[in-house]
Structure 1
């Protein structure tokens, strides 16, 4: 939910009382026209607050928590579960881990994780949002989020398919799942792992903790999902091509 412009201006005055709008935009990288339009509409995007808070060395989570809509973020952070951490590992990184373990096992005669794993791609990744929701879903999560927020199930699913969630929905999803409130913000790319308070190397540790069987099964599931997505894209491309050919 966008933030009230008046509350935003009070927050902005509190962190940079002497700075002009031009200064704020120059330092934060927010376009002046974008900020002006948001202020005129009376609704400022959460991403604007995040960009400005980073520019002034303020944790974005703490900045958002000063607004009534996101006051819940002021509570002590809850660490992500292993399933959440693994959900934020890109499919290609899972495949690299499978290969690295196989190569290491062949060389050592064992199945332990390699000593020097390749660095993981920073979150988020191409399917991070849907993977995160799947990781915390007990089978009824989507229904509870729909009931709590009023969003139609098909609209919620459409956002997941597009690998996005509004900040408000991301936090509502966390709340209904009973997990830390910042997990969805990381999955959507609103904030970083460090800003959410995730321990350094947490995703790598969660990956290393997977057994060879668990890793292989997860990589296989991701590949299957990727294959379905690519096939749909190919079909859509062919349909579009056919339409243009028929139009001459």
Structure 2
């Protein structure tokens, strides 16, 4: 949910009291015309607040927490669960970890460690995060709390996106840290959300070989289904154009 322009202007006056809108736009990388349009419409995007916060060396999570809509983010950070951490590891990194472990088993003297984990978000980070914290009723609770239809919520997950207010509402409904969903969507970084350095790698290292292999297998199976669906849709589209031509 975009932030009220009046509340944004009050916040901006506090963080950059002697800075013009043009200078704010220049420093933050937000286009001046975009910022002006948002102010005229009375709704400022969360990404704008994040960009300005970074430009003025303010934690974006804390900045968003100063607005009523995101007041949960103003509280001390809550550490992510192990399941959340693992959900934010890309499938390719899981496969690299499997290979690295097999090499270590074969020749520990010459085996190299796995490469550094790629940062969130990854191709299925949003859906994986929701699945990691879902007790079976999470989607229904989020729908009831926000008024967003379950099918619309699922459509966002399938597209690997989630509006910031829905991400925070999902965290609230699941009882996890309010900023975790913003990491999964890529709005903020792990460090900005207060995740401990190296937490994802540590969570990966704690997985047994069986757990790691099963997780990678589940990810690959889901990827296969998605690719087959895309291929099917592509064939149907090509057939339609062929019939029309």
Which structure 2 residue ranges, 5 or more long, are not aligned?
A: none
Runs of 4+ in 1 over 4 A off after TM superposition: none
Take 1:158 and 1:167, find their aligned partners in 2: how far apart are those partners? Answer: 15
- Hey, what does 1:174 align to over in structure 2? 171
Partner of 1:53: 53
Distance apart, 1:19 and its partner CA = 1.2
SS at match of 1:57: coil
Which position in structure 1 is the counterpart of 2:157? 160
- Whether contact under 8 Å (2:121, 2:186) holds in the other structure is yes
1:245 alignment partner in structure 2:
242
1:91 aligns with 2:91: yes
CA distance in structure 1 between the partners assigned to 2:244 and 2:39 by the alignment: 45
Question: What residue number does 1:72 align with?
Answer: 72
1:81 to 2:86 alignment: no
Which runs of 5 or more residues in structure 1 are unaligned?
Answer: none
Alignment of 1:19 with 2:16, yes or no, is: no
TM-score, scaled to structure 2: 0.97
CA spacing shift, 1:170–1:81, aligned 2, 3 Å = same
The correspondence of residues 180-195 of structure 1 with structure 2, limited to 5 A, is: 180-195=177-192
SS at match of 1:144: helix
How far residue 108 of structure 1 moved from its aligned partner, in angstroms, is 4.0
Cα-to-partner distance string for 1:123-157 (whole Å, 9 max, x where unaligned): 11000000000000001101111111111000000
Residue 125 of structure 1 is matched in structure 2 by: 122
Spell out the pairing of 1:143-154 with structure 2 (5 A cutoff).
Answer: 143-154=140-151
Please report how far the alpha carbon of residue 30 of structure 1 lies from its aligned counterpart in structure 2 after TM superposition: 0.4
TM-score by length of 1: 0.96
- Work out the CA distance in 2 between the residues paired with 1:24 and 1:246: 54
Tell me, in whole angstroms, the C-alpha distance in 2 between the residues paired with 1:195 and 1:108: 36
Give 3-state SS (helix, strand or coil) of 1:190's partner: coil
Aligned residue pairs, count? 244
Q: How far, CA to CA, are the matches of 1:75 and 1:27 in structure 2?
A: 27
* 2-structure distance, mates of 1:237, 1:115: 41
Q: Output the CA distance in 2 between the equivalents of 1:102 and 1:243.
A: 47
Quote the residue 2:139 is aligned against.
Answer: 142
